[in-house]
Amino acid sequence: MQFPAAQIALIVSGKIEGDPNAAVSSFGKIEEAKEGQLTFFANPKYEDFLYSTRASIIIINDAYELKQPVTATLIRVPDAYTAFATLLGKYQEIMQQQLTGIQQPSYIAKTATYGENVFIGAFAYLGDNVKVGNNTKIYPNAYIGNNVTIGDNTVIHPGVKIYHDCKVGNQVTIHAGTVIGSDGFGFAPQADGTLKKVPQLGNVVIEDHVEIGANATIDRATIGSTLIKSGAKLDNLIQIAHNVEVGNFTVIAAQAGVSGSTKIGKGVMIGGQAGLAGHLQVADGSKINAQAGLGKSLKTPGQAVTGSPAYDYNKAIRSQSMARNLPELEKRIQELEALVKQLMAEKV
């Protein structure tokens, strides 16, 4: 399938410089792209490749001034990176729309319902009273438990497990191997030293436009819901415990973990391998650095923290700067001590 520059420019609201009939059928990195491929230029580090690439079409920022001629057709946009992402998304949507129907063998309970243009892959399981919306894709070996609701235009990748009673919104993507709605980690210590399991009777609610990476785990609530709000993006290998709330447009990088009942605000950024203790409040716009250990609430919006235990990022940078100067300070102190001893000896 080929796409001409004129059609691409229409999708990204861009202006064409060159041949509007130039066509592409795939994408390529600017340093590797071949004729018939589309690429983008946004990072100045790749400027040399702009003039040597064999790509047929290049998405480029409006503000960039060429230093020499290029052979490719240019499509100028305000933000090349965002425009390229839009094109990739559109291409993926077109490819997924071609995938419809129900493969066999698969199990769909008699009380399960699904909308138009769905795809249900081989060995998928849909339990009692499952509801699946229009244009949703459920790939092979997925498990959808009883009473689960999945909205429109959602993609459930291979091997995803969604336990009973959970709710998944519209235009959600859940990548392979992720488990939604497993039991929260709740055990009550007993007088004899044993641990009594606390039944986890709640569910997980994932709102619209959420993306969850591969092999992530989101536990169901003890009572109520573990909530991932619309627009949130979760990376691979993340643990979200019971009754956690993740705010709108919050991003969490790989291998991070959030303990039970912590409430994370809107637009928060959490780095890889960060750990958050339970029952905390994290204010909107907070930034938690990679490998940070957060043990107390962040109540000031926009605060940045690092380290374990986590503390103010700017103070941490100053402390690190001072630590680097310690050898020089030690040398100066030793010189001062020697000078003081000399002066004392002369005085005597």
Q: Which residues on neighbouring strands pair with residue 60, listed in sequence order?
A: 41, 76
For the sheet containing 203-206, what is the strand order? 113-114, 131-132, 149-150, 167-168, 203-206, 225-228, 245-246, 263-264, 281-282
Q: How many residues does the chain have?
A: 348
CA 348 and chain centroid, separation: 72
For residue 135 the two structure tokens come to 């244009």
Listed in order, strand segments (DSSP E) in 185-333 are 187-189, 195-197, 203-206, 211-212, 217-219, 225-228, 233-234, 239-240, 245-246, 251-252, 257-258, 263-264, 269-270, 275-276, 281-282, 287-288, 293-294, 304-306, 311-312
Taking the C-alpha atoms of residue 253 and residue 151, their distance in angstroms, rounded to an integer, is 25
Show the DSSP H helices in 132-255 as ranges.
none
**Active-site entry in 157, 175, 209, 242:** 242
CB atoms within 10 A of CB 195: 10
Is 242 part of the annotated catalytic residue set?
yes
CB contact at 8 A, 203 and 165: yes
Q: What's the rounded Cα separation, in Å, for the pair 323 and 268?
A: 29
Phi–psi pair at 309, nearest 5 degrees: -70, 145
Contact residues for 331 (Cβ-Cβ < 8 A; gap 6+): none
Active site residues: 242
